[in-house]
Amino acid sequence: MQRTPYLDAEACIGCETCTRICPKVFEMVSEHKAGIHNPTGDTEEKIEEAMDNCPVACITWND
């Protein structure tokens, strides 16, 4: 079973890194915040790449 990501909107700085790395999962929901539009839209490896590159580490697994 695929894990799903969680994005802490309060911590998000809207840098768009996650949306560039993994656009099938993440999208900008406002000018300064990203959101998750399809939590199982890509591989766990691709989601983890977005997690690893987030400068404020606001994306985690929703375990």
Instruction: Name which of 56, 49, 41, 44 is nearest 7 in CA terms.
Output: 56
Would you state the pLDDT for residue 24?
Answer: 98
Q: Is residue 12 within 8 Å of residue 34, measured between CB atoms?
A: yes
Tens-digit pLDDT profile for residues 8-51: 999 999 999 999 999 999 999 998 999 999 999 999 999 999 99
Position 63 pLDDT exceeds 90:
no
Would you state the pLDDT for residue 31?
Answer: 87
DSSP letters along 1-63, please?
A: ----EEE-TTT-----HHHHH-TTTEEEEETTEEEES-TTSS-HHHHHHHHHH-TT--EEE--
Would you state the pLDDT for residue 23?
Answer: 98
Q: Which residue has the tokens 């606001």?
A: 58
Give all domains of the chain, ordered by start, each with its CATH number: 5-61 (3.30.70.20)
Give the residue with greater pLDDT, 2 vs 41. Answer: 41
